[in-house]
Amino acid sequence: MTLAPRADFPLLERHPSLHYLDSAATAQKPRVVLDAIRAFYEEANANPRRGAYALSFEATQRYWSARETIARFLGAADPECLVFVRGTTEAMNLVAATAGREGISAGDNVVVTALEHHASFVTWQRATIEANAQFRIAELRPDLTLDVEHFASLLDARTKVVAVTHVSNALGLVSPVAELVALVRRRAPRAMIVLDGAQSAPHLPVQFDALGVDFYAFSGHKLGGPMGIGGLLGRKALLETMPPYQTGGDMIESVGDQVSTWNTVPFKFEAGTPNAADAVGLAAACEYLTGLGMARVRAHEVALLRALVPALTAIEGVTVHGPTDDAAFAMRSGAVSFELAEAHPHDLATILDQAGVAIRAGHHCCQPLMRRLGVSATARASVFVYSGEADVAALAGAVRHARAVFAGD
Ligand code: PLP
């Protein structure tokens, strides 16, 4: 059974035999999202926060209401803590280019993990190079979970930023955020904590206000919203002290001939005409998931993974990366990375595609992790609310077929 009817998703309805198992890359969009975007353009299209006429007020109101809905969905009581950006990548770059650039000096250090997506890893690597600071990478245990003791050993009074992925996109493992936050606050009191929520916002009930982090970055398209919209949730006090990210329309308070002053948060960070229609679409996706219930989304996906992982490991030659014992499912979410002996992941994905099974093959924008795994790529299957047992069975069947092909049976 799926949690959400496939019929809610026009693309899945159009392709009834498609087994879409690449939701970690981008999720399919429910009809309500497409309708909301269309309604914005048909009923309220005007430049928000610009015009002194009713249509512009309507656009402004829908844009603001989207911010309230999305902030509520992610457990942020104050919608002003939500800055709209293009997605996780831009959110991460925003923090690095503002708070990061001001806060990191020569001799300081930034701590990341070996699980980070390039959006975080490369952004902070570059920030440290520019600041002549140290870039420290917390390693993994042999079972590929984060080595928390090593992580702790990297923290000190000169740690200015700690960037951690909430859920690894390549392995689907949930980070022990509460434990990590407690360690950072104790050992690195001057550090800002940036949580990469690209893979947690779609799959876990998230309460930003209770996470104890300073920033949370996410992408709308991974939770059923449109591409090109996402957000940065930040602690208000920090956002207020940060310099602007980009300059331009609507992010100013006043512009003098020589100096300008900045608008309040979040507008200080949203220069130019906002992507209001997609913000409205993203809010519709959040409402859709709220209607399903994020606790049920989580339970559904864990149940699916409990079927998917053993279905894969039962196939001769298949290795699933990361822990697969019973206790592991409490820390598994969304995605499963695996390998078939003697088969390159790209070839495997091509064979699976012939059976209508769409998975991802590649380094998943995690080359540091791939190096540690000793591979250049893995195959990855990832689920969402419209995934069900039929997808798991199709995946297992197609991998069995691929194994026979590669073994020359
Ligand atoms: N972080 C993680 C964990 C991701 O999975 C992704 C996307 O795959 C990103 C960051 C980058 O997200 P986007 O490309 O939407 O900016």
Q: What is the tens place of the pLDDT at every residue in 197-216?
A: 999 999 999 999 999 999 99
Q: Which of 81, 286, 365, 366 is catalytic?
A: 365
- Of all protein residues, whose CA lies closest to atom 8 belonging to ligand 1? 25
**Residue 28 confidence (pLDDT):** 98
Tell me how crowded residue 352 is: count the other CB atoms within 10 A of its CB.
24
pTM (2 decimals)?
A: 0.98
Quick one: pLDDT at residue 167? 98
State whether the beta carbon of 380 lies less than 6 angstroms from ligand 1: no
- pLDDT > 70: what percent of the chain? 100
**Structure confidence by residue, pLDDT tens digits, 299-338:** 999 999 999 999 999 999 999 999 999 999 999 999 999 9
Query: Domains in the chain, start-ordered, CATH in brackets?
Result: 33-289 (3.40.640.10), 294-407 (3.90.1150.10)
> Which atom number of ligand 1 is nearest to the Cα of residue 91?
16
Supply the pLDDT for residue 49: 84
- Report the nearest atom of ligand 1 relative to the CA of 221: 15
Q: 365 catalytic, yes or no?
A: yes
Identify the pLDDT of residue 407. 86
Measure 87 CA to ligand 1 centroid, in angstroms: 8
Low-confidence ranges of the chain (pLDDT < 50): none
